[in-house]
Amino acid sequence: MGKDMALSLARKGVDIVLTYHSGMDEANQVVEEIERLGRKAIALPLDMSKFKNLDPFLFSFFETLKAHWNTDRFDYLVNNAGTGATILIDDVTEKDFDYLMNVHFKGVYFLTQKALVHMNDHGAVVFVSSGTTRFSVNGYSVYSSLKSAVETFTKYVAKEYGKRGIRANIVAPGPIETDFNSAAIRNNPQMKNFLAGQTALGRVGNADDIGSVVAFLCSDEAKWVNGIRLEASGGINL
């Protein structure tokens, strides 16, 4: 999904600093695609599970802005980093919880806090949540609870930074056929068919069902949209 978000923003005339966890080659390929669209792009490594990496990443990010754009300001922040884990409540360990907490909430909270100081007024923040904050899926108790925390945090960002004209919104995807959670949907035709049958549009989502929604929320077309949860799920579990 992150790839399509970056490309969708580039098509709207936005230069991109994208991050990757381990897929450096894939990230550089996205950079090349963005450059072919006539925009600038840089890929930086970031492991959100290691909280100590946050300040060094931000230093690198702002140095990159200065080196390539001659500024330390930016317009849009998309919090998309995530990892899947299907663990029943009885089996959740403190290690599991802390890992998911760092990736999905603690890292998101403090990255946003530290970055917003440098965001241009009238910018936008997009948080990526999940359809599973509305409906329950076995094994997602930690993941979905943390996404619910992000949804609450989004409203506070919208409230406290609105005086600067900064908007904050949530995109909540339904089941998407990507590499997420070890490509659980792609690798399990039975699961894919079941989820498609639960969705009003009769299919699971693709990455390109989400990127355009994120790009919309970052654009002037959404200048009066603030503090909302936009579920892009094809109408699952209606």
Task: Return the active site residues.
Answer: 143
Residue (of 95, 110, 116, 129) closest to 51 by Cα position: 110
Instruction: Give the gyration radius of the chain's Cα atoms.
Output: 17
Single-letter amino acid, residue 112: T
Tell me the C-alpha distance between 128 and 229, whole Å.
10
Single-letter amino acid, residue 181: N
> Which class for 95: exposed (0-12), middle (13-18), buried (19 or more C-beta within 10 A)?
exposed
Q: What are phi and psi of 186, to 5 degrees?
A: -65, -35
